[in-house]
Amino acid sequence: MSVAAAAAPGKAGKVNRRLTFVRWVRKTHGWFGLWGALLGLLFGFSGIWLNHRSIMKLPLPDQQQINAQLQLPDPRPQTIEAMGAWLQQALKLDRGPNNARIERARPVAWGERGGEGTPRPLQQPERWLLNFGGPNHLVQAEYWVGNGSLSVRTTQNGFVATMTNLHKGTAMPVPWILLIDTLAGSMIFLSISGVILWWESHRKRAVGITIFAVAVATTVALAVSPLQF
């Protein structure tokens, strides 16, 4: 048997493994794309709106906000948990707060309280922030500890505003966030597998490498330019 004939089976096996790998990548690429198709459409639609709304001053066309002051009962709730339970009952909400956050009291930087001896900085009281509802209906309550009332802002969102809130994860539970993590992972895989499929299915790669290099350079330049002083 000649040396060329002996080398042929090894070369054929290498080609077969390569073809098997490419077929697996192509098939998996399709399944991952199917998994993220609906979420990709949702995020693409809302992403375009969010990307342009600050530059082009695009308002959310179907968003309505109502601000109100709500008197607290006597005695006032002493903890943020008690405040959340009272607000749920007072506002007739189906669920408790999605998020409750406390900002501790701290000195303010814009003023000092004079008096005898060393001046003491003015103290900003503790602030409680509570969010209720979901992406289509959001209730935000703000309470400065010691006040007899709190401010409540109710936001009613239509279709576009709801889509942007879904995009940002506003008032969404942990399962939704984990679902979006799977979409992010799918996008990473689709990007890598897309490059692999292109590399394995094109022999004239100079043009593709040039396009990829230009895309990388343009992305880095546009991302870094706002950071320059």
Closest CA relative to residue 125, chosen from 107, 111, 138: 107
pTM above 0.85, yes or no: no
Q: What is the mean pLDDT of residues 103-108?
A: 84
pLDDT band at 8 (very low <50, low <70, confident <90, very high): low
Residue pair 169/70 in contact (Cβ under 8 Å)? The answer is no
Cβ atoms of residues 121 and 113 within 8 Å? yes
Based on the number of CB atoms within 10 Å of its own CB, is 186 exposed (0-12), middle (13-18) or buried (19 or more)? buried
pLDDT the model gives residue 3: 47
Query: What percentage of the chain carries pLDDT values higher than 90?
Result: 21
Domain boundaries, given as residue ranges, for the chain: 63-106+121-157
- 84, 85, 90, 94: CA torsion to nearest 10: 100
- Side chain identity, residue 172: M
Sheet containing 127-133: which strands, arranged edge to edge? 63-71, 149-157, 137-144, 127-133, 99-103
Q: Where are the beta strands (DSSP E) in 135-217?
A: 137-144, 149-157
Helix (H) or strand (E) holding 108: strand 106-113
Angle between helix axes 159-168 and 37-56 (nearest 10 degrees) is: 100
